[in-house]
Amino acid sequence: MNIINIEHISKVYKVGTEEVHALRDVTLRIDKNEYVAIMGPSGSGKSTLMNMLGCLDTPSSGIYQFNSINVSQMTDNDLAKIRNKEIGFVFQTFNLLPRSDALHNVELPLIYAGIPSSERKERAKKALEDVGLGDRIHHKPNELSGGQRQRVAVARALVTNPSIILADEPTGNLDSKTGEEIMGLFNEIYEAGNTIILVTHEEYIAEHAARIIRIKDGYVENDEYVTKRYIPKKNNDLNENPV
């Protein structure tokens, strides 16, 4: 079943009198338990598409059905609910709350889901253990390495058991070795049955995915399944039983 179904979506930004077409007539279907990479040059509209898929933004025209629900006309509040329950974000710049420790950062979506404190703490702790940070739960972001920060972000994305994980250049701020570790983590998450959509510049990162969508100037230029995807080696420092 399609988890994402977008039809003829476009997004137009008005800058002064000029119109910027960030997305033009994009039609896409993504199934449950897919691993999709979105590729394209800078300014091609990857982030715009990602924001749309993540219900952070609404299209200028076209229809977006998420889990068969039309979200293109939803109110801010309903979109917030969907983001909270169904979507896990991982950003290039991690986007953690700087003054809060790892546990509180991971706990945050559960607060907005209205889950009581004790259950929240337990689930957040479990999620941090799953990404191999069981011994760092009281560290603040500035007390963690880049890779560890991104793991906290991944734990935060996973803690609500969302329908999809959206990652916008998750390795963009990491060195290649650390990036590879994060990609290993994503692989495990994917193999555990999650749906992942990943934005990247880098060909070798995109090859981790099972399907690559290439966009250019807001168009979908190419959309094909990878015949032999790159499967990273298991990380030793991660738990035996991930997600």
Partner 1 sequence: MENLFFELKEGLIIAFRAIRANKARAVLTTLGIVIGVTSVVLMSTAIKGIDTSFQNGISSLGADVLYIDKWAWFSNVDWWKVRRRKNVTLSEYERFKEMAKLPAAVSPTIWSIETVKFKEQSLENIFVTGTTTDYVRTSNFTFSQGRFFSDVEGKASRYTAVLGSEIAKKLFPRENALEKEIKVGGLNYKVVGILEEQGSFMLGSFNPDNQVYVPIGTVFKHFVNDNARSLAINVRAVNTAAVAETKEEAEGIMRKIRGLKLSEESDFSINQQEGLTQNYNQTVGVIQIAGFFITGLSLFVGAIGIMNIMFVSVKERTKEIGIRKAIGAKRRTIMMQFLLESSVICLMGGLIGLIIAIILSMVVNQFLPTSVQTDAIILAITISLITGIVAGLAPAYTAAKMDPVEALRYE
Ligand X SMILES: Nc1ncnc2c1ncn2[C@@H]1O[C@H](COP(=O)(O)OP(=O)(O)OP(=O)(O)O)[C@@H](O)[C@H]1O
What residue ranges bind partner 1 (CB under 8 A)?
A: 51, 54, 56-57, 76-77, 80-81, 83-85, 89, 91, 95-97, 99-100, 108-109, 111-114, 116, 156, 160
**In angstroms, what is the minimal distance from the CB of 130 to ligand X?**
29
Residue 44 in the binding site for ligand X (CB under 6 A): yes
Which C-beta is closer to partner 1: that of 132 or that of 141? 141
Sheet harboring 69-70: ordered strands across?
A: 18-31, 2-15, 61-66, 69-70
Pick one of Mg ion, ligand X, partner 1, none as the site partner of residue 109 (Cβ within 5 to 8 A by kind): partner 1
Which C-beta is closer to ligand X: that of 45 or that of 132? 45
Instruction: Print the SS3 string covering 62-91.
Output: EEEEECCEECCCCCHHHHHHHHHHHEEEEC
Pick one of ligand X, partner 1, Mg ion, none as the site partner of residue 20 (Cβ within 5 to 8 A by kind): ligand X
What φ, ψ does residue 192 adopt, rounded to 5°?
Answer: -80, 0
CB atoms within 10 A of CB 56: 15
In sequence order, the β-bridge partners of residue 2 are: 31
Which C-beta is closer to partner 1: that of 123 or that of 211? 123
**Nearest residue by C-beta to ligand X?**
47
Cβ atoms of 152 and 105 closer than 8 Å: yes
Stretch that binds Mg ion, among 43-51, 177-185, 200-208, 213-221 (CB under 5 A): 43-51
Which C-beta is closer to ligand X: that of 1 or that of 15? 15
87-90 and 2-15: which strand pairing? unpaired
From residue 121, alpha-carbon distances to 24, 108, 124, 195, 218 in Å are 43, 10, 5, 25, 41
From residue 62, alpha-carbon distances to 18, 23, 68, 76, 165 in Å are 21, 11, 15, 18, 23
**In angstroms, what is the minimal distance from the CB of 169 to ligand X?**
7
Neighbour-count burial of 118, counting CB atoms closer than 10 A to its CB (0-12 exposed, 13-18 middle, 19+ buried): exposed
Q: Please report the sign of the dihedral spanned by the C-alpha atoms of residue 233, residue 139, residue 145, residue 35.
A: positive
Which C-beta is closer to ligand X: that of 44 or that of 105? 44
**In angstroms, what is the minimal distance from the CB of 55 to ligand X?**
16
Residue 1 in the binding site for ligand X (CB under 6 A): no
Give the residue, chosen from 4, 9, 37, 47, that forms a contact with ligand X under the rule CB under 6 A. 47
Which C-beta is closer to partner 1: that of 155 or that of 212? 155
**In angstroms, what is the minimal distance from the CB of 133 to ligand X?**
27
Nearest residue to 50 via CA among 15, 88, 84? 88
Give the residue, chosen from 34, 37, 48, 120, that forms a contact with ligand X under the rule CB under 6 A. 48
Can you give the binding site for Mg ion, defined by CB under 5 A? 47
